[in-house]
Amino acid sequence: MPNPSITLRAVSHAYGDRAVLRDLSLTLTERRVAILGGNGSGKSTLARMLNGLILPSAGTVTVDGLDTRRDGRAVRQRVGFVFQNPDVQIVYPTVEEDVGFGLKARKMPKDEIARRVTAALDRYALARYRHQPAHQLSGGEKQLLAIAGVLVLDPAHVVFDEPTTLLDLRNRRTVIQAIRDLPQHAIVVTHDLDMVMDFDRVLVLEDGRVVIDDAPSVAVPAYVARLG
């Protein structure tokens, strides 16, 4: 199996007349990639394109050789997606049931679902909340639940859309550590500059174009300088 990679070729996207991504060509192979940029720069649209939730108006996106336009479902099985607001991602009322949702959707045997759910709950310190209603968890715990619900499916890539934006300092640290510990290829859309300092690559989007593409030690100061 070749190294996991996501490739964009001449990708553009528009909502009506408003262009949000302009002729992007990228190959993402590094283990940790961050996408920075201001509001409306096209970050979230780009993130959603990486697992075929949004298809480009022009160009192609391929994940490990699979085209998001042609092989949408197979792509989504390879690319997990963690949303900014975990509340929209939690489907079932209790923690255990929600972690098992994606596995059940894939029609896995019940004992395999139980085994994987237990492992995921242990891994993200959620085992004590197993039978609790999800809406009673704190913001950080909900985000960990959302991550557990995605990671239990064992995707090759995980895309995070601003995973720490709604969190307090303690929960932010917990989620950052969880992302650091992931064995998967992770692409993180964020405004959190501290988080990306030990990443392998940082892309900065501005008006739908990549204006900086470099290691964090170069990209982050350059981004800050651009902000003025």
Secondary structure, 3-state, 120-184: HHHHCCCHHHCCCEHHHCCHHHHHHHHHHHHHCCCCCEEEEECCCCCCCHHHHHHHHHHHHCCCC
Which of 2, 65, 73, 225 touches another protein (CB under 8 A)? 73
Tell whether residue 3 is a contact of another protein (CB under 8 A): no
> Considering beta carbons, is residue 131 or 181 the nearer one to another protein?
131
Least separation, in Å, of the C-beta of 112 and another protein? 15
* Choices 29-37, 85-93, 200-208, 217-225 (CB under 8 A): range interacting with another protein: 85-93
Residues 6+ apart with CB under 8 A from 141: 126, 129, 171
b/e burial code for range 55-68 (CB count within 10 A of at least 16 → b): bbeebebbbbebbb
Tell whether residue 157 is a contact of another protein (CB under 8 A): no
Interface residue list for another protein (CB under 8 A): 14-16, 18, 20, 40, 44-45, 48, 51-55, 57, 67-74, 76-77, 80-81, 83-85, 87-94, 97, 100-102, 104-107, 130-131, 133-135, 149-150, 153, 161
